Structure 1
Amino acid sequence: MANRQTEGPATGGPILRLTKISKNFGAVSALTDIDLEVHAGEVVALVGDNGAGKSTLIKVLAGVHQPTSGQIEFCGKPVSLDSPSLALELGIATVFQDLALCENLDVVANLFLGHEVSPWNLDEVAMEVRAWTLLKELAARIPSVREPIASLSGGQRQTVAIARSLLLDPKIIMLDEPTAALGVAQTAEVLNLIERVRERGLGVIIISHNMEDVRAVADRIVVLRLGRNNGVFSPDASNHELVASITGATENAVSRRIERKSDVNHRGGSTA
C-alpha cells in the first residue's frame, strides 16, 4: 500500500487523539480506556460486533455524549466536545446512518438546510453554483441539483449527505455504515467518494460491518470488543485475524474453513 503524504496539524501529529476515553451510563460501562488516533488524509475503519461500543464512541466524538473520563485532543490541543455544534465548529462532521435528509426537498435545499444565510449569505443561484461545484469536485453522479432527494438512489443520497458535511470545511468526517443496504454499484460509488474525501486531506472514520468495504478504503482497521480496544490491523490482515479479534475467539467458522482447505490442498485435492 502506497504511503500518502498529506499535510497534518502544525505539530505534525494526528488531527485527533483519544487517550483513555471511558463512558459510563449509570452502572453500565459502554467504553473503557479507548485510545485512537486519526491523521490527515487517512481512513480509519472502526469495526466490532454489535454492542462493541462503536456507536457510543462516534457519539462522543460528535458531541452527543460526553466522556466520563479521558482526554480528547484536536489538532494537538485538549478539547471538550460539549455539544454537536461545538464538534462541528471545531471541524468534526458526522454522517449518521439515517442521513437526516428531507426527501421532499431537492439536493441544493438539503445541502444548505439550516445555513441559507450564515455563514455564506448566498442566494438561490449562488447556492446552486456552489452545490454543482462541490459535487463536481467529488465526481458525484447526481443527475441534477434540483432533483428531489426522494428520486435519488441510496448511493446518491449518501453522496449528498457527505457533500453537506463538507460545506463546513471539516478536518475529520465520520461515516456510520455508509454502504449499508446498498447494491454493488452504489457501494462502489460511495467507496470512491470516500477515496476522494481522503484526497482532500481530511481524516475519515468509518464504521462498517462489511470487511470487504473496509479493506477497499481503510489505511488502518481498529477493532473494538466489549467497549475496549482489541487490536489495530492493516487492510492486509486475514479474515481469520479480524474475526478472532472482533469475536474474541480464535476458533470460528473462518478458521475452520481455512483448516479444511489446507487439509484438502495438502492431500492434493481441491475444494469448492
Structure 2
Amino acid sequence: MTTTNGSSPNGTLVKDTAPQDGKPVVELRGAGKSYGNIRALHGVDLSVRPSQVTCVLGDNGAGKSTLIKIISGLHQHTEGEFLVDGEPVRFSTPREALDKGIATVYQDLATVPLMPVWRNFFLGSEMTKGPWPLRRLDIDRMKKTADEELRNMGIVLDDLDQPIGTLSGGQRQCVAIARAVYFGARVLILDEPTAALGVKQSGVVLKYIAAARDRGLGVIFITHNPHHAYMVGDHFSVLRLGTLELSAARSEITLEELTNHMAGGAELAALKHELAQVRGVDVEELPEESDLQVTPAAGGSSASDATR
C-alpha cells in the first residue's frame, strides 16, 4: 500500500502509483532471442510507460542481459515484436535506440575515471565554439550545463573538476542517470545499478531512479534484489530461464510474494511434499503453490501461465 506523500508503511520511496492512461513508449510482445540452437529468451511481454519504473528481476542466467541487449539495440530479437511508440522496430545499433530516446546505463557506467566530472558528463557529445577549423571545446558552457543538470536531479557536487573516479559508486551512477536525462532519454535502462553498492549508496541511487520517473521517464530497472525493486517499482517482471515467470503491477503483489518468486518459491512449493520426506528439512515455512498465484497485469502472464 502506498501513500500520496511518496512513502509507504514500510518506508519505501514510491509515489502514488495509480494506473495511468499513457501508452507504452517501449513494448515487447512475445519477444525472444535465439543464438543458433540456444534459446536465451522466449515469449516475453513487457510494457514501459512514461513516469513508471518497470522492474525486471531474475537470477543469473535468467535472460536479463539478453533483454537489455534487445531493447538497447545491441542485438535483434528473433521472435515476437518490439515496438517503440506503437511502431515495430528492429535496431541495428545502440545509436538507433538512442535516437528513439532509449538510453542504457551499464554497470561500468562508460566513464573515464581520470577525467573531470563535467568532461564525463559530455563524453562523446562535447559542446564546441568558434568557426571551423578553429573550433574548440566550450568548457565554461559545459561546466555550467553539467552543474545545472546535476542540480535539477538533486545532485550537488562542490567541484566538477574533480576526477569522476574520486566519486562514490552511488554518485557515479547518479551522474550517469543525469547525463542520460539531459541528452533526451525517454526510456532509461539501468543495468544492476545497486549490485556493487552498500546500503547507503544503494539508497542514493534508488532516490535518483525515483527522481527520473518523476521527470516523466519510463525506467527499466534491472536487478536481482527484490527489496530494492519494491522500493521504487510500479510494475514487476520476473524472468526465469529465459521465460516470463511473473508480470504484476505493484498493487497485485507483496514484497514477500515477489521475494518468493525470485527465490524459486514456485519450484519449492511444487517440491514441498517431497522435501517433507527428507529428515531434518523444515517445510512448514515454505510457501504453498496457491500462495504464489498472482493476478497478472494487463498483457502479462501469471506464474502458472508463464512457467514452462
TM range (shorter): 0.7 to 0.9
Secondary structure of the residue aligned to 1:205 is strand
Partners of 2:93 and 2:260 lie apart in 1 by: 35
Shift of 1:239: 2.5
Distance 1:161 1:219, change over 3 A: same
Counterpart pick for 2:261 among 236, 244, 249:
244
Change (3 A) 1:193 1:244: closer
Q: Tell me the secondary structure at the aligned position of residue 119 of structure 2.
A: helix
Aligned: 1:192 with 2:207: yes
Distance 1:88 1:78, change over 3 A: same
Q: How does 1:161-200 map to 2 (within 5 A)?
A: 161-200=176-215
Q: Which residue is 1:153 aligned to?
A: 168
Residue 17 of structure 2 is aligned to residue 3 of structure 1: yes
Q: Describe how 1:99-178 pairs up with structure 2 within 5 A.
A: 99-117=109-127, 123-178=138-193
Partner residue, 1:268: none
Shift of 1:233: 2.9
Is 2:57 aligned against 1:47?
yes
| Match in the other structure for 1:225 | 240
**1:197-233 CA-partner distances (Å, limit 9, x unpaired):** 0011000001111111111000011011111111123
Is the CA contact 2:226–2:262 (under 8 Å) kept in the aligned structure 1? no
Deviates more, 1:235-244 or 1:179-188: 235-244
TM-score, normalised by the number of residues in structure 2: 0.76
**Relative contact order (alpha carbons < 8 A, sep ≥ 6): 1 or 2 greater?**
1
State how far apart, in whole Å, the 2-side matches of 1:152 and 1:188 are: 16
Contact 1:15 1:75 (8 Å CA) reproduced: yes
The 2-side partners of 1:255 and 1:245 are apart by 18
Could you say what the CA RMSD is over the residues aligned between the two structures, in angstroms?
A: 2.5
Counterpart check, 1:17 vs 2:27: yes
Partner of 1:270: none
Q: Point out where structure 1 has 5 or more consecutive residues left out of the alignment.
A: 260-272
Answer yes or no: is the 8 Å Cα contact 2:30–2:43 preserved in 1. yes
C-alpha separation in 2, matches of 1:209 and 1:23: 21
2:226 maps to 1:211? yes
Equivalent position amino acid for 1:3 in 2: T
Alpha-carbon offset, residue 64 of structure 1:
0.6
SS of structure 2 residue aligned to 1:93: strand
Contact 1:63 1:84 in 2 (8 A): yes
**Residue type at the aligned position of 2:240:** R
Shift of the alpha carbon at 1:5? 7.9
Rate the CA distance shift 1:241–1:209 in 2: closer, same or farther, 3 A. Answer: closer
Q: Which amino acid aligns with 2:267?
A: A
Structure 1 residue ranges, 4+ long, deviating more than 6 angstroms after superposition: 252-255
SS at match of 2:219: strand
Separation in 1, partners of 2:101, 2:64: 20
Residue 74 in 1 paired to residue 84 in 2? Answer: yes
Alpha-carbon distance in 2 for matches of 1:38, 1:143? 35
State whether residues 58 and 239 of structure 2, in contact with CA within 8 Å, keep that contact through their aligned partners in structure 1. yes
Do 2:226 and 2:255's aligned partners in 1 also have CA atoms closer than 8 Å? no
Aligned residues: 254
Other-structure match for 1:64: 74
Q: Relative to 1, partners in 2 of residues 1:254 and 1:150: Cα closer, same or farther, differing over 3 Å?
A: farther
Aligned 8 A contact 1:142 1:156 in 2? no
Residue 267 (structure 1) aligns with = none
Check if 1:84 corresponds to 2:94. Answer: yes
